[in-house]
């Protein structure tokens, strides 16, 4: 039986992205346990939170990069764990 590997190349150019990516791949970011699967709802929630932070005037480039790194790392971990995304029925 062959093992399927997935390569998700990322050119990491900032410490903020690296921090988020590392947390995403480890499943733990600053003490927050990331679930096994990255869902559509979680991605939307992350973007919504960033939007709200922007409206309050607190959004920084590092915060955007850190959150992008979390999503990228989380996706990489999910791909390594089970290889494929799964679809759920549309409501």
The domain segmentation of the chain, as residue ranges, is 39-49+67-82
How far is it, in rounded angstroms, from Cα 3 to Cα 60? 41
- Entry pTM: 0.76
Give the DSSP letter of residue 33: E
The residue ranking higher by pLDDT, 82 or 50, is 50
pLDDT band at 1 (very low <50, low <70, confident <90, very high): very low
Give pLDDT tens digits for 62-85. Answer: 999 999 999 999 888 888 876 555
Give pLDDT tens digits for 4-39. Answer: 445 557 789 999 999 999 999 998 887 778 876 778
How far is it, in rounded angstroms, from Cα 38 to Cα 53? 22
Give residue 27's pLDDT.
87
């Amino acid at each position: 039986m062959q093992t399927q590997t997935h390569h998700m190349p990322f050119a990491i150019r900032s410490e903020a992205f690296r921090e988020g990516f590392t947390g995403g791949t480890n499943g733990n970011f600053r003490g927050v346990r990331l679930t096994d699967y990255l869902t559509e709802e979680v991605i939307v929630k992350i973007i919504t939170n960033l939007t709200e932070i922007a409206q309050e005037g607190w959004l920084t480039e590092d915060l955007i990069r850190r959150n992008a790194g979390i999503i990228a790392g989380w996706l990489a971990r999910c791909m390594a764990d089970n290889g494929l995304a799964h679809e759920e029925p549309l409501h």
